[in-house]
Structure formats: C-alpha cells, structure tokens
Structure 1
Amino acid sequence: MFRHVPALGAAALLASVPVQSHAQNRSVLPPVIVDAAKKRPAQQQAKPQAKRSSRTGVARANRSPAAPLPQPAAPASLTVADTRQATTELARIPGAVAVVPDTAFKNAPAQSIKDMLDYVPGVFVQPKWGDDTRLAIRGSGLSRNFHLRGTQLFMDGIPINTSDGYGDFQEIDPTAYRYVEVFKGANALRFGGNSLGGAINFVMPSGRDASWFDGRVDGGAFGYLRGQASSGGASGPADYFVTGSSWRNDGYRDHSSGFGERGSANIGYQFSPDFETRFYLNANSVRQRIPGEVTRTAALTTPQAAWTDNVVNDWQRNIDTIRVANKSTLRLDSTTIDFGIFGVDRHLMHPIYQWLDYRYADYGGFVRAADDRIVGGHRNRVTVGLNIQNGTIDANQYQNIGGNKGAQQSALVQKPENYTAYLEDAWYVVPTVSLVAGTQFLYAVRDQQVNFSLNGDVPGRSSFSLWSPKGGIVWDVDPAWQVFANVSRSAEAPSFGENVAPNFLHPNYPTIPFYDIKAQTATTYEIGTRGRRPDYSWDLALYRADIRNELQCFYSSFGNCNVTNADRTVHQGVEAGFGATLFRGLAVNSDQPDRIWLNVAYTYSDFRYDHDARFGDNRLPGAPSHFLRAELLYRHPSGISFGPNIEWVPQAYYVDSANTLATDPYVLWGLKATYDDGRHFSAYVEGRNLSDKAYIAATSIIDRADPTSRLFNPGNGRAVYAGIRYKL
C-alpha cells in the first residue's frame, strides 16, 4: 500500500528537543511536524488558543487581526496534549520515538495501521487481510502468526492489547486520531513498555482543537467504501469530541470481505486552570472473513485465491468491543499528576480450525507524576508512575462445522495480571545536555483454570518479576539538531498462547505447558540523531539488541507454530529517514514557493540466532533485510500536490528458521494527487501497485518449511482510491 507523508517527511517526525523550563533561559529545538500547517485566514487564526501550555508552562497568546482588543482565551486541554506538545514531550527521550500527525495520513485512503506508520523507519507493517496486519518494530513478535505480540497498543493511553499481551488491529480507526506516538523498545517506559517493540499510542483530539464538523467519504478498488464524521467543540470549562465511521470492503482475495462500525468520544471538564478530568468511550463492531495463508507458488500465480479450508469452514474474525475510561490531570506548581482508570469488554467470535468464543474483561488504572524544577542550579525532571492491567478471559472453543459451532472442545478461565512501577530522572548537566536514568519493575501473573478440555489444555500458574533499567543522554547540538544514545533492558512476559500442547505435537516434540515458558529479555544499545534545516530533515538510529529466551517458533505441525524460548538471538539494524527539497521556485517564486520534495524511509534489519543448538547463526524468519518507502512530490502553495511513490523489498527473506524457504523480492509503484485548501475542503486520488505486481506482502513463520507450506499472504493487486473531506 502507499500513502503520502507531506512536507517535512518521515525524518522530521522525531526532530525536537526538550522543552524550555520557565526557570531557565535556553534555546529549544522547535517541534518538527510532518506536515507544516498552511497559513489560515484571519477568521481561523482567531480561534482561541491557550494562555499557557499545560506541558511547558510557557505563556502564549493569539490576537485576532480583526479584533480591536484582545479576546479571552479558552483554556487548553490538560489531559490531551496537542501535536506540538506531544512532539516536544517525546524529545526528552534519549532514543528513537516518533509523532505522526493526522496530516500525514488523512488525505489518503488510510484503511489500516500501515497507512499511518509506513514512513516511520524501523516499523515493518504489512497487510494480511482486512484490517489485520503483521507489525514488527525492531523484529518484535515475528513468531506470532496471528494477532500481535511484542508491541503494546494504546488508545489515548488506554490499553488495546488484552491483559495477557495480545494485540488486535481491528479496533484501530485511522480517521479518529489527531496523531500517533511511536515509542521503540524501552523508550516506552511511561506506558510500562516492557517489550522489544515498545508501544504505539493513538490519540484523539479534544474538543478544544477539533472542528465543529468534519466529514469524509472514501471509496475505490475491491468494493471499498467508508463514511466518517466527527464533531468537537468547547464551552467554558467543558469540551467534547465525538467521531464515528462505517465501512465495507469486498476484498482483493476470495473470502476476504468485511464490514464494520467504529465510534469514539471524549468529554472533558476543567474544574480550575490546574485540574481537568476527561471521560472516554470507544465502541467497535467488526465482521471479517479470513482468506488464509497459501503456498508460495499460489501467492505469486493465483494471488486472489483463498485457502480451501477457510472457505469450506467459513473462517472469520468478528469482534465487539466497548472501552470506557477516565483520565484526570492535576497541576501543582512544578509537578503534574496524571491518573485514571479503564475497563474493557471484548467479545471475540472467531471460527478458524475450531470455533473460538472468547470474552475478555480487562480493567486497570494508572498514576504518573512528573516534577520539573531547578535543583542546585540545574534543571531536573523526575517521573514516577504505576500501571495496573488485569483481566479475566473466558475462553471457550467448539468444533467448527461449516462456520457453525459444533461440540464444545474446551472451557478455560484465564486470569492475567500486570503491575508495573517505573522511575526516571533527567538531569541537565548544561542547558543543552541531559543525562537520563530510569528503571521499571514488572510483576506479571498468568493463571489458567481448565474446566473442560479435549485439546490437552493444562491448568497452572506462572509469575514473573522483571527489572528493566535504562540510561541515556540527549544533546541539543543546536536548536534544530539533536544527538542521543541509550542502553536499556526490556522484558516481556509470555501470553497464554506460548506453549507446545500435546495434541499438536510430533511424537519427538516435547510437551511444554504455558507456565514453563520463560520471559523474553533484551539489552539494547542505541545511538542516533534527528533534526531539520529549512530544506532538509533527518532521523537516524543504529541499534543492537542482545536477546535471551526470545519467544520463537521451534516446534510445528499441521502448519501451526508453537512458540517457546530460543537461547540467544541478536536483533540489530539501521533506521534512516530523511526528507529534502530538491527544487524550489519552479513556477512560483515567493515567500511560499512551489517545490519538489523527496521523502525516504529505509530500514535495515539483521536478525539472527546466536550459536543456536538447532539453527546455528541462521537468520530469523519473517522480516526483510532491506525495506524502502519513498515518494517524490511536487507541492504547489495553492494546496495541490502530486507525484510517484515506491515500496521496495530488494531481497527475499526466509519464512523458516532452517532457512530453506524464502519469499520473493518486489518493487511496487504508485501515484497520488491531492488538493487541500487549508480551510474546509480536501480531496485525493491515489493509485497503488499500478503495475499489478503479484507479490508476497506478509508471511507466517515456521521452524522448517517446504514448498507445500501454507505461510504466504499475497498483497493486493492494482487499485485506485479517491476521497473527499469537508470540515468547518
């Protein structure tokens, strides 16, 4: 798939430096946003702004040119940072992080998480079917052939992952968010980030920075149609934002149709300039058929065909979710305290090899305090927090008879618990250099009760006590250039799906119950730089993670991957993004000239076993060594832009640990044209995979494959999409 990241490019996503303390006089690297906002007309500029940023304490005011006197300013939201505040906040982190604003993905089809994160280096995200996607950050969760593991997903800071660690993309609505935050690895400390991949947080606007009306219609290839509308506003101390969307898609492949509705809302109230509370509601209903993985030959020769068994037994993944939460922010002089609670009710109806009927009841809370003051003549920022996420999973499985429930096969009650405490201190040696040290402690429980099972399930309980220290440095070389380095440890408790169950085993394979699976730990070394200049921007990170007990596929039969622990593995690579103005003033030579902009995101990944007893130093399967996304855009100050883009995987990658079967290299190209008047109206037309290339978009993995192994997900063929958007 292709999407357009305008203006400053992917490299600029991360360019920013710690915010200026009101007790100091120091230069600040201006927050860099992917798409610099166009100048608005006077009546829009007059929209009230905050007198004081809730995150920075820096005074701000905005006077309407048409008004003879200053107008009273509405308070900014304390509980929801805007895009600029979020970018500044993340710049304090001595590691690879990103803020992707909605301007980077809303003038596009934006069907899935791929359309949102495609230009963030280090994030490998490829579609499988419907909204389901294979996502890996620095090689996280490559062994997970279904769902997501290894990266924690949040919606406004509220967990999307289940309490035992599974993630799901069906609840993600790209049209609902103001921006997306990406925290790689242990850089996700404030979310209790205890996994190799880190965390991704999808953030809705509040009523204080949302349009009164925003509506759009998108449509295109393979029967795709979506409508969306939102509304937001503020009145005195209260504000609201509500959004809803409905979509349907026939799908490129046979047996891949789906439809769904998603809705989100938040309501905030400021009791005083220093105390605000906000209530959140999110609801989803999604119905999606699954075409299934096929052989390599089938994927490249008959890519639209589904696997026969998926059709005969009507494989599906259907989900209904309701998520409620409350978050409050209290500001006390130099200390800001965030606290809240949440609850999630999720019903999964999932006919696959068996008919899965799972009900999840997750709940939890969090508290976080950040104190920023001058200590001994130096700025010092201390952050301390506690996260709790617990739940109960009623896991019932039945025979799948033509897509209908048959006889019950198992009835389990699973109770995961997660308690995370963390502490971080950033001390500024000089105004432009901060030393950061922190630690995180995770106590996790996995408890399973077996009421009935014909599947070989066993009861048991395991617990994990995991420390994750971290240290780093951030140097503001100048106001628009930053260098960082860190050493960190991540730790990931396994989910209930990690085990080798008896009924799936080859006679020579051991029986490994879930409670004997060890936690995955990693020590990661990282160095990088980010910044911008008027005509170019960059983001570069180099990392190496030495991993113990990586959750990997070691035993398999009937196409299933049964996950247990490897001994030692290594994940290392290069994440590079840059943008550059190649030409300017071609037809318009003014203070806002036209330009040709090049935007590139490149990821190099070297993931290997480290002297493994079975696989030696083989490459880990599931991710390409090289992945490139690039676009070349002509941008006119009137709001018109157009140009080509490519996705390139120049080298095949293995799908099995034995390194016997690989994918196929490919290059895709597309074209896109957009118009945005900067006020009310925008539209786009986009063509993807215009050469109609048959290619493998994503794979499952296995320990040892052969040409008959069904592991491959074909990518979509030639497609054209168009959409219009109007807001007030």
Structure 2
Amino acid sequence: MNPSIMRRRVEKTLPKIALGLYAGASLLALFSGNAHGQSGSPATTPTLNVQGGSVGGNVEKEAITIPSPEEARKALEKIPGGVSLVSEQELREGRASTVKEVLDYVPGVFAQPKYGQEDARLAIRGSGLSRNFHLRGVRLLLDGVPINQADGGGDFQEIDPLAFRYVEVYRGANALQFGAASLGGAVNYVSPTGRSHGGYLVRQEFGSYQTSRSQFAAGGVLGAFDYYITPTYSHSLGYRDHSDQDYYRLNGNVGYRFGDGAETRFYITANNINQAIPGSLTRDIAFRQPNSTVDTSFSRNTKRDIDSVRLNNKTTFLTAGGEATLGVFYADKALFHPLSFAVIDNQENNYGGYARITEETNLFGQRLDLIGGLNYFGGKNHAKQYANVGGNRGALSNNVEEKSNTFELYGEAAYYLRPDIAAIAGAQATYAERNLVDLFPANGIDSGSREYQSLNPKLGLRWDVAQDWQVFTNLSWASEPPAFSELNPTATPGFAPLAPQKSRTLEIGTRWRTADYALELAAYRANVEDELQLLDVGGGQTQARNINKTIHQGIELGGEATLLRGAWMEGDRISLRSAYTFSNFRFDNDPVFRDNALPGAPRHYLRAELRYGAMEGQANGWFIAPNVEWVPEAYHVDNANTSKTAAYALWGLRGGYTIREGGRIFLEGRNLLDKTYIASTSAATTAGNQALFNPGDGRAVYAGIEWRF
C-alpha cells in the first residue's frame, strides 16, 4: 500500500481508537465500581500510597506479569553492577515530560533534550555520543519489551513518563537479563496495572511557554481481569522559535489471570505527535539569541510528525523456583519529517517475540540462580525522501526498503559460593541481518546486505557484606551492529562496509541502603574498538566510520541521606539527594585525533537537591526543595577539540503538598537566574563555525494538580 495512503488511514484511525478505548475504559471503570459496590465513597474506594506506588483498599494482589517496585528493587540488587530505580514518587511529584527529567538523578546518565521532547540526547557511559540525531547504544523497553527499531536505533517521543509506575536503568552489560549487550545498557519503563492502580486519576499541568499537559487514568479489577488505561495530551510553544509541540498519547493494558500461577497481559500504545524543529545554532548565536532559530526552519517548516500504534502481549507462568515469560509485539509507525535538505517520509513496521525463564535451584548443595532467554526482532522500513518545498513533498529523491532481523540468545548463572558471595557467569550470542533494496537507482545504487555475529561473555562477583551493604565487580563484552542510518548514509551512495562496535568493560562498585541513607557507587573502564562515529565528509554532511580504538571510563555516584529529623517541628525532615557523574571519554592513540577527548558530554555533571518537608506516613505531606544542575567545565563539540560549550550552573526550586486522600499539587521553578547555556550539541570532526549548538530553556515556572479517587 502507498505509504501516504497508509499514513492518512493511521491519522484517521488513531483518534477513533483512542476515543473508543477511552470510553471503554470509563465504562469498565464504572461497571467495576458498581460490581464491587463502590459508589466512590472514601470508605470503599482504593487510595494511593504515594511512597510505595501501590494502591490499598480492596484491590487484589500485584500482577504476575509486572513486578511491584519492591520486587524490582530486590531483583536489581542481585546484579553485580550499576543499576538504578526511579520511583513513581519521583515521576509524579513534579513535572517529568522528557527523558532528562525522568533520569536526572541517575548517575552515569547524561540526558539532554534539544528542544521540547524531540530528539533528546541520551548517553550512558558515553554511548552514542557522536549521534547527532536519534539514539544508539541503549535499549529502550516497555515492561521488558524492546521499543527500539529492529536495527537498534531508537527515539523517545513515544514514551510518556506519566504512563509509568517506575523506571529501571541498567548501565552497560548489566542489562544482560534482557538480552542486551551494549556499551550503554537499557532503560525499562514499567506500567501500572488495574491491580496496582485502581480507581481514577485526573491531572492537569500548566506553565511557561503556554505549556499545558492533561492526564486521565482509570483502572480496576473485574474478576480474573484487570485493566489500566491513560490518555494524555500535552501542548507547548517551546522556549525557542518554531519549537511548538502537540502530543496525543494513549497507554493501556488488560490482564487476565489463570488461577494463581499464570497471567497474560495485552498492551496498547498509540501516539499522534506533532513537533516543530528549530534546528541547531552556531555558538555565537546560541549565546546571543538562545531562543532563536534558523531561517530555513520557517521557510521549509522543519518538523517531526509521528503516528504510531504498538501492540504487545506478555504471558507469565510461575514455576516451582521462578517463572517463564513468553511475548510478542507489533508496531506500526508513520514518520513525516521535513528537514532543511529533504522531506523524510517513512512507513515502518517492527515485530518480534521473546521467551525468558528464571529459576532458583541448587547445585552441590549451594544456591544457583538461572536466567535464560531468546529474542527475535524484525522490521521493515519503507523510506522515501523528497525535495522540501515549503515543508511539503517535492520531487522524489530517494526510495529504499530497509529490512532487519536480529536473533539473540542469552543466559546467566549466579552460583552462591557462600550464602553471602555469588559468582556470576553469562553470555549473549547475536546474529543480525541488514538488507537494503534500492527502489530509486537514479541517485546511485544503495542496495546491499550485511550479516553480523557476536558472542559476548560476562563474569561477575557480588559480596553481600552486610544486610544493607554490597560490593560487586564484573567484566563484560559487548557488540553493537550498525543501524541503517549508518549503513546507508545520505552523503554518498552505497552500502557502507562498517564493522560492529565492540567493547570490553571492567566495573567495580558498591551499594548501601538503610532507613536514612542510600548510596550507589561504580567505577568502570571500557576499551572500545571500531566505535561508530559520524565524521565530516564535506558539503556539510557526515558519514559513519569505525574509529580504531577509544576509551570510556568514569565514576558514577548517587545517593540520598536524611540529614536531620525534627529540625523545627515534630515530623519534619531535611534530606539530600544527588547524582554525580565523572566521564573521561577519549580517542586512544588515534592516527588523526591522537588522545583527544570525545565530544558531546561534560567531564563532570552534578545534580543535587536539598529537601525540607514532612516525613513519610503523615496524613498530609509537603516539601520545599532547592536544586542545582552543575557542569563546572565546558566540553568539546568536535573530535579536533577546537570548540567547546561553556560551564554553567542552573538553580531551581520545587515545592508540593500531598493529601493522603489522593490529592497532590506542585509548583516548580527552573533556571531561576535565566542562565544562557548549551543543553546539548551535535558532534563534528572540526567545528569551525558550524551550527552545532542547542540552547537550553530559559527561566520557566510550572504548576500542577492531581487527584486520585
């Protein structure tokens, strides 16, 4: 079918699907309330436990297919490496609309949006630093199901932070339990269910740049069934000219329990995204006129519009010592993407399946924990390019079909040498195919195919020194096949002969958690071979190349501490949370760039917040929290190390009030001193006077109110 016809059908169908599901969820919720004798009175309606993220009242026990936050945290603490969990409280007590706002206090992560929610840069341990668009080196997951494209690339626009209960971050090879073996690791967004979040939720946010965001949610249990659904809408004109956005999103799931030992769950995610793109600026303009944009953004109406629908199914069976999970997924995505040089028009389908098993058993009288799984990812992208005529399609300039198939087999065993010491060994094997068919040979033949195989082992050791204290180390290998944006560049015709990026990482660290303190510390060094870098090839264009050797090393330090209880009144508390990341990423005796720093990320990055407020468990909770984001040193934007950003410190202030019955309000000020700074950059071989800089937002104030009933 013609992609433009398909896109029009998606545009017409998506609102109908959203409206139908929205209405259906409301009717189910009303029926559920009547079926259980719930008239909405406080005595019978479930209420939210804000700290734990679970719902009390008459909602049944947690879903089998989705772990509770407590179960997830216990599982993370078995991993001998850098992992973090972002709680529901962190997601909901302020404004979290971008990947940066979700992961702000996760050490080892550098996340910065270019503008709005569009095309953010996410680098974990320096993954994908040279990517000037989209994502590489990190696997994004929804409830354990990959949402990256089949070739490994990814985007954030289809992830709605308000739709999730908590977020897990697996840095580096610590994501092996999902089959991922990459330098950056994985980020897993985990959904609420009708069993954890019964009742209704209404939320409204508003603020600077005519920002508005609305959410409705409904969840409940109907016998063996449970359901949760949440449509959201967000609008903003954006800080910069020509950065306005409108996001319509729908997330939901329906589960069915087969007795006490098995459960299946169906998921839907639908998006209608309209995002204007202002483009990068030169360094001089970025600091003189940070809210401006380039003229071609207006004349060519540069933007990124997405219509997508994703369907997943996940079934989990409990076994005597663990569980087995099977799943399948399918995604349809239409992308209309006018840029200054062309209009990109893609119709993409991704699909796949997975199986995973965990088991706790014994070997020679000692405990043995096993994880094993198989993943298959497939996809086809019909990618066209047209001349940009005022933001519309002009003459056809390129037409290709990109097909990807990836198979992953993985396993991990943790053998307890003593009750407090576990030795971990695992491996991941990958077979990947990339095949491109050129349907428009007039501009040069791009057709080609590649196959990639890899075996990535992992060794680790975890010592539970005390009940609340762990020490760990691991040595891991990773391999990342190139994505189609690297294999089929626009700069020159042909299918690029690229090798997969390979890395070997040594990590050592510790975790410590008590009632008043929490600490996570990890130090790592990764030796990377054939790192995929975008290098200038002339004419203002870049092309992917393999860099022989680079080094990624750093320190990740994060934690929370209760500094004082009962400071001025009974039940109050002063606490501190912070995340510090030290990054030393550089070339390793490169014939051209010697030992230069890799561009794109600061050497030091600190987020800290001092909080004063009521302690958990009180009838009414309140807090006020000044915070800072600090980059004390400018970082390079080019491989030649001829141009830098500038150091900056951003001061903010948050406050909120929570009522036990389900109400919450918040007020948040950001960049209160209106500091002009560079939020993210594109990377170049030699910067010159290129437009590489994306200024961050100026002073902004946001407020919101939420009510659960």
Please, what TM-score do these two structures have when normalized by structure 2?
0.90
Report what 2:325 is aligned to: 338
Aligned pairs (5 A) from 1:95-244: 95-132=81-118, 133-244=120-231
Q: Which piece of structure 1 moves more, 188-197 or 598-607?
A: 188-197
The answer to whether the Cα contact below 8 Å between 1:75 and 1:273 also exists between their aligned partners in 2 is: no
Q: Secondary structure at the match of 2:157?
A: coil
Answer yes or no: is the 8 Å Cα contact 2:560–2:576 preserved in 1.
yes
By how many angstroms is 1:460 displaced? 0.5
User: Which whole-Å CA distance do the structure 1 matches of 2:202 and 2:165 have between them?
Assistant: 15
Give the secondary-structure state (helix, strand or coil) at the position aligned to 2:113.
strand
Distance in structure 1 (CA, Å) of the matches to 2:450 and 2:149: 17
Does residue 514 of structure 2 align to residue 528 of structure 1? Answer: no
CA distance in 2: counterparts of 1:312 and 1:110, whole angstroms: 32
Which residue of 535, 549, 561 maps to 1:580? 561
Q: Is the 8 A contact 1:498 1:514 kept in 2?
A: no
Letter in 2 for 1:146: F
Deviation of residue 271 (structure 1)?
A: 1.3
Q: What CA distance in whole angstroms lies between the structure 1 residues aligned with 2:445 and 2:207?
A: 45
Alignment of 1:718 with 2:699, yes or no, is yes
What is the Cα deviation at residue 46 of structure 1?
9.7
Bigger shift: residues 362-371 or 635-644: 635-644
Q: Match of 1:684, as an amino acid?
A: F
In structure 2, which of residues 645, 649, 664 is the aligned counterpart of residue 663 of structure 1? 645
Cα deviation for residue 556 of structure 1 reads 3.5
Deviation of 1:330 (Å): 1.0
Question: Could you tell me which residue of structure 1 aligns to residue 500 of structure 2?
Answer: 519
CA RMSD of aligned residues (A): 1.9
Change (3 A) 1:104 1:554: same
C-alpha distance in 1, partners of 2:213/2:252? 19
1:284-303 pair list within 5 angstroms: 284-303=271-290
| Contact kept in structure 1, 2:165 and 2:191, CA below 8 Å | yes
Structure 1 residue aligned with 2:402: 414
1:498 counterpart = 2:480: no
Q: Does 1:487 align with 2:465?
A: no
Aligned to 1:283: 270
Residue pair 2:219, 2:226 contacting (<8 A) in 1 also: yes
Answer yes or no: is 1:620 the counterpart of 2:598.
Answer: yes
1:244-323 alignment runs, 5 A limit: 244-323=231-310
Residue 74 of structure 1 contacts residue 236 of structure 1 at CA under 8 Å; is this kept in 2?
no
Which residue among 679, 682, 687 is the counterpart of 1:700? 682
> 1:223–1:250: 8 Å Cα contact kept in structure 2?
yes
User: For 1:652 and 1:456, how far apart are their aligned partners in 2?
Assistant: 42
Distance 1:599 1:101 in 2: 14
SS of 1:497 mapped into structure 2: helix
User: What TM-score comes out, normalization by structure 1 length?
Assistant: 0.88
Q: Quote how far apart the aligned CAs of 1:86 are.
A: 0.9
TM alignment of 1:363-442, pairs within 5 A: 363-442=351-430
Residue 500 of structure 1 and its aligned partner are, at CA, apart by 7.5
1:661-686 per-position Cα deviation (integer Å, ceiling 9, x unaligned):
11011111011111112331001000
CA distance, structure 2, for counterparts of residue 444 and residue 431 of structure 1? 39
1: CA distance between counterparts of 2:56 and 2:209? 49
Change (3 A) 1:313 1:63: closer
5 Å-filtered alignment, 1:518-597, equals 518-589=499-570, 593-597=571-575
2:657 to 668, 675, 678: 675
What's the counterpart of residue 451 of structure 1?
A: 439
Q: How far did residue 383 of structure 1 move?
A: 1.2
1:87 has 2:73 as partner = yes
For structure 2, the residue ranges without an aligned partner over 5 or more in a row are 1-41, 50-54
Q: CA distance change for structure 1 residues 457 and 232 in 2, over 3 Å: closer, same or farther?
A: farther
For 1:310 and 1:373, locate their aligned partners in 2 and report how far apart those are by CA, in whole Å. Answer: 60
Verify the 8 A CA contact 2:555 2:582 in the aligned structure 1.
yes
SS at the partner of 1:190? helix
Aligned residue for 1:653, secondary structure, equals coil
- Tell me which amino acid in the other structure corresponds to 1:180: V
| Inter-partner Cα distance in structure 2 for 1:149 and 1:286 | 21
Alpha-carbon deviation of 1:194? 2.4
Q: Secondary structure at the match of 1:309?
A: helix
CA deviation map 1:605-632 (0-9, x unaligned):
0000000011000000000000000111
Q: CA deviation at 1:179?
A: 0.6
Is 1:559–1:710's contact at 8 Å kept on the other side of the alignment?
Answer: no
Q: Deviations over 1:336-369 (max 9, x none)?
A: 1100101000111101121111011111000011
**Matched length:** 657
User: Aligned-pair distance for 1:514?
Assistant: 3.8
CA contact (8 A) 1:496 1:514 kept: no
Structure 1 segments unaligned to the other structure (5+ residues): 1-40, 49-61, 65-70, 506-510
Aligned to 1:598: 576
